[in-house]
Amino acid sequence: MVIGVLVQLVNYNTDKVFDYCVPSCLCSKIKLGMRVLVPFGKQVLEGFIVEINKNSHTDNIKEIIQLVDEVPVLNEELLLLGQWLKAKTLAPLISCYQVMLPRGLKAKKGTSITKKYESYISLVNNVDYDALHLNLPQRKIVNCFKDQKLILKKKLQEISVSSVKTLLEKGLLQEVVKEKYRYQLHDVKPVKYSLTLQQQQVVDEVLNKLSTNKTFLLYGVTGSGKTECYMEMIDGVLKKGKTAIVLVPEISLTPQMIERFYRRFGNQIAVFHSKLSDGEKYDEWRRIAKGEAKMVIGARSAIFAPFTNLGIIIIDEEHSSTYKQEKMPRYYTIDVAKARAKYHNCPLILGSATPSLESYSRAISPKKIYELLSLPNRINQKKLPKVTVVNMHNKKQVNNFWLSVELCEAIKHTLARKEQVILLLNRRGYATFVTCQNCGYVEKCPNCDITLTYHKTSNILRCHYCGYATKKINVCPKCGENSIVELGNGTQKIEELLKQQFTEARILRMDYDTTSSKKNAHETMIKSFANNEYDILLGTQMIAKGLDFANVTLVGVINADISLNIPDFRSSEITFQLLSQVSGRSGRKDKEGQVIIQTFNPDHYVIKYVQNHDYEGFYKEEMKIRKQLKYPPFCYLTYVKISGKDYNVVFTEAKKIRDYLQKYLAKNIIILGPSVGNVLRIKNIYYFGIILKCRDKKNLNLVLGDLISHYQNNKQIHLDIDFNPNHI
């Protein structure tokens, strides 16, 4: 037997199937999607079996060393999905398969994650235990089985280790070893929600079309009860014997979402996201593959969960940029979800209070590419919170410059009512940069063209691109003066100001710095704030969406202009979504909500539409600009990134690539560039980019594929193709 193996090397030169023969003793065990260990040149590598040619000649073909798996790690659908992903992203096929799998199941020699086991004890059948002469500890152990058939061995050993050992040796008890999964959900009280009429209409619309490959856009204001709709839809799917995938964009959303779903569905849930350990991911993946879990909740990578009978896919906060994979293969999760929904002939639900412009345009277009479902009101019929905009140009209004008088007064009154506050500043660290007041010197990263951010708690200047860190300086290295000052603001500085201003308040800061050091930090912080252990939650965008706190009645945005000033065509959309989402955290239950937005651009149309909770108005305004500038959804966008260590070589090759594209692409494709990236140099690599805008992608992948082939052996230049990029 000859099999085709795709080896673990992520390289365009090895992006092909290699033939190996199989010893006769293993032929009966071979299946597509299994991993095998094979000789490859002077190396020994792992790879996936992607072809089986039973009758091929085996002359001069190397033999596999061994099988790695007993069952395939890639099922039939995932094997096909990898081929689709390769065609969609132009990435090597091996990277398309590797991205689907947890580390313990990737093709990677030397990676081994073991299963964990626990010992249980049971009684032996046909033994009259009442007639036995047992001592007191032995009798106590036997009596434990009156209400249970299987008990953890270590629990019985708490009574008497020697008695357990004796009963086992005499054959009066038997030991059963079962696998123990590393990730354990804590028991919670079940809750069943009753739906409003609007919610029930949305659910019925989906449940009536479960056997259709339809994409629905569920557009519901913050607090309208989209999650309850998701659960009701899934309940209908599970009753039909099918399974479900639920995706959330941020790790911070996962704990609350898991708890709500666990209350409804119990241990039918598997969990999959980046904060799980390798062992936990390994266990959860296998639970799904073995059919022990009927649904998965997780971040982007959970879209590849190995279900074989999907009944529904739900993507919450569908507008989020985190659904785009930024490393090869650069897939867009919604595209993958559509492909899987088509394979299983099941519906895909995209939910958001601020849908992406592309999704909303598809839902309201005459072609009805998506079916629009609406939840225009909050569950409790309360109005959305009142939004006040503070003009930060008026210095008389400003307290400590970063906190306005209005915001400080609102915080004071909210705390006096024993209610909670959420404050958003989408920039971590203490200061944006440090500079010399005397000569203007600015401390920059030696590896990247970016200023270093000051983190006061560690007294470190850190690059948020490459991770470079150095101790903060006090004396200017250029002029020698002791005149270094910190400028700009981050969450650490605001935390310091809040502690000075509100000395009695319990303040919780939630950003990358506070959540990355400890396992389950997100979950711990969210639970603590939900339990009213803190009064003020200060954080970056991870606190802006999806979280539900009953006692939060004030939301403050420290600087609404951060994302507005990013030089990117999506900056207005991102800002509107971020501000609208964080505003929706206020007044979600019985108490009235209030929002205060601090900005230096109070007349900007984005701020105006956020203030009025007017998504449709923003959509119309932004679409006019997109149409005029020919940006999505009015065209397809592709970004060609050219990078290398030598600036001159990169720039020269970038111009050659532009000329090639102009020669071979259709005349109606707009080609812009090459231009330097927003950050020219990152980790001592220089970046240039070329933007392609087109309405028809005919021949585009073919031409770009030829470019990749041309540069695959060029050690001075690296080429990246990003279809539908989040950012330029």
Q: Which domains does the chain have, with CATH numbers?
A: 2-105 (3.40.1440.60), 116-180 (1.10.10.10), 197-375 (3.40.50.300), 386-427+490-626 (3.40.50.300), 429-489 (no CATH), 636-723 (3.30.70.360)
From 428, 420, 456, select the one nearest 556 (Cα to Cα): 420
Give the per-residue pLDDT at 395: 64
As a whole number of angstroms, the distance between CA 33 and CA 76 comes to: 8
What's the pTM value of the predicted model, to 2 decimals? 0.92
Contact 633, 363 (CB under 8 A): no
Crossing angle (nearest 10°) for helices 571-583 and 615-629: 170
Give CA–CA dist 540/727, Å, rounded. Answer: 19
ω into 633 cis (within 30 of 0): yes
Q: Is the peptide bond before 329 cis (omega within 30 degrees of 0)?
A: yes
Residue matched to tokens 């798996």: 69
CA distance 188 to 171: 38
How far apart (Å, rounded) are the C-alpha atoms in residues 424 and 173?
59
Please name which of 77, 97, 90 lies closest in space to residue 9, comparing C-alpha atoms: 97
Give the residues of the chain that fall short of pLDDT 70: 252-253, 395-401
In the prediction, which pLDDT does 274 show?
Answer: 83
Of 225, 248, 269, the C-alpha closest to 315 is 248
How much is the pLDDT for 701?
93
Nearest to 315 by CA among 327, 323, 326: 323
Contact 121, 150 (CB under 8 A): yes
Contact 637, 669 (CB under 8 A): no
